[in-house]
Structure 1
Amino acid sequence: MIVFRDLCKSFVVNGERNPVIDRVNACFPTGAAVGLLGRNGAGKSTLLQMIAGTITPTSGEILSDGSISFPVGFAGSFHPDLTGAQNVRFVARIYGIESDALLDFVADFAELGRAFHRPFRSYSSGMRSRLAFGVSMGIPFDTYLLDEVTSVGDAAFRRKSTDYLRARMQNAGVVFVSHSIPMVREICSAAAVLENGNLHYFEDVEEGIALHQEMLRGG
């Protein structure tokens, strides 16, 4: 379960404070697969990073009763001067996972070849997402935070990623940020729409999609 209590986040731009999240109170149930929807710039990635604990709220709090992954797809999760393999070992130590087993899993899953032993800063955005998704799927979290990551790679890799995610979802929840409505329908059972700092949660994913599309049309 992930609970938001009077959650606020604002940034100062050109001397003005701009709220991104404004007094949000909501709850994502344990094991729910939530599609996080909203237009570009609505604050979806910011909310994801606050759930993970990599960004601090301006006020309010986020409570959880289980382990939460780092935001997959967020480049800041890894050290740019370490190789992909070294980053995997570092993450394994942080989460108390056997490093050799995680290294073998990610090397096979991410399909980076020789680039696995090159500095992370040399990776393309797609390679970074492959590494991040592989590391995340290699660790048994209670909730996975995913940011457009299933759109990375060719059709075979996307299919493999989706299949493995579904296997993890048998025992875990997901907060999934995506602009692909078909992917949201395929993966998620609930939806949350972020608009003008407000978060609207729907147990029915189709109701959330309908509100999101209405917002995009200017409704």
Structure 2
Amino acid sequence: MIMVEKLCKDYPISHGRKMVLQDVSFTLRKGQKLGILGCNGAGKSTLIRLLGGVEKPTSGTVTSQMSVSWPLAFQGGIVGNLSGFDNLRFICRIYQVDFETAVAQVQDFSELGNYLYEPVKTYSSGMRARLAFAISMTVDFDCYLIDEISAVGDKRFNERFKKQLGDKTAQRSVIMVSHFYGVIKEYCELAAVLNSGILTLFDDVTDAIKYYEQVLLGKKITF
């Protein structure tokens, strides 16, 4: 179970502080999949970073009783001067993953070829994304944090990632943020909308999509 209580986050700006998240609260049980919709700049990525422990909240708490992944595609933990191979070795040591098995999986999924043994700083942004996702799939977590998977890589890689992600998370919890409701509808059974730092929860994904479309985007859709 993950319990988020009155989570707030603000940042200093030139004329004071900007509130990004305001009293966000929800509970996610093991096996549940929660999709969070929000426009660009709504605070979705900030929320994912807080849940993953990449940043600390201004106030409020995140209490987890299960293992939680780093935000998938987050590249802040990848060392540019090291090769993809050595980055993978380091992560395998931290999470006690069999290295030989992980190397085979990353080589197959990332399709980096010999670049896996080159410094990550020489990679293109797409290559870094493929490495980050491939490494993410080698570690078993109880809950996976996913930020905008629809915007990652080329179409073919994105489809491969979606399939592997579906297999990997079939019996696990997911917290996914996106501004594309189709992705949320495909993967999630619960949904919420983040708007002006306030999170509104819905028991039905369709209701969340309607709220997102009608209230935030001024559109009317039918299902």
Say if 2:40 and 2:179, in contact at 8 Å, map to a contact too.
no
Alignment of 1:58-73 (within 5 A): 58-73=58-73
Say if 1:5 and 1:26, in contact at 8 Å, map to a contact too.
yes
Q: Which moved more, 1:38-47 or 1:166-175?
A: 166-175
Give the partner amino acid of 2:20.
V
In 2, the alpha carbon distance for the partners of 1:11 and 1:153 equals 30
Residues 59-100 of structure 1: CA deviation (Å, up to 9, x unaligned): 111011111111112221311211111111111111121222
* Structure 2 SS opposite 1:76: coil
Structure-2 residue corresponding to 1:206: 206
Alignment of 1:127-206 (within 5 A): 127-206=127-206
**Quick one: percent identity of the two aligned structures?**
40
* Structure 2 SS opposite 1:66: coil
In 2, the alpha carbon distance for the partners of 1:88 and 1:189 equals 32
Q: TM-score, normalised by structure 2?
A: 0.91
**TM-aligned CA deviation for residue 150 of structure 1:** 4.6
Q: TM-score, normalised by structure 1?
A: 0.92
Change in Cα spacing, 1:215 to 1:77, as seen in structure 2 (3 Å) is farther
**TM-aligned CA deviation for residue 56 of structure 1:** 0.4
Q: What do you get for the CA RMSD once the two structures are aligned?
A: 1.7
Give the partner amino acid of 1:159.
E
Q: Count residues with an aligned counterpart.
A: 219
Question: Which residues of structure 1 form unaligned runs of 5+?
Answer: none
Change in Cα spacing, 1:179 to 1:23, as seen in structure 2 (3 Å) is closer
Matched, 1:86 2:86: yes
Say if 2:44 and 2:194, in contact at 8 Å, map to a contact too.
yes
**TM-aligned CA deviation for residue 184 of structure 1:** 1.7
**TM-aligned CA deviation for residue 218 of structure 1:** 5.3
In 2, the alpha carbon distance for the partners of 1:85 and 1:150 equals 26
Give the partner amino acid of 1:38.
G
Residues 117-146 of structure 1: CA deviation (Å, up to 9, x unaligned): 222222222222211111111111111111
Residues 30-85 of structure 1: CA deviation (Å, up to 9, x unaligned): 21222121111111111101111110011111011111111112221311211111
Question: Which residues of structure 2 form unaligned runs of 5+?
Answer: none
Change in Cα spacing, 1:124 to 1:211, as seen in structure 2 (3 Å) is farther
**TM-aligned CA deviation for residue 22 of structure 1:** 0.9
Runs (4+) of structure 1 exceeding 6 A deviation are none
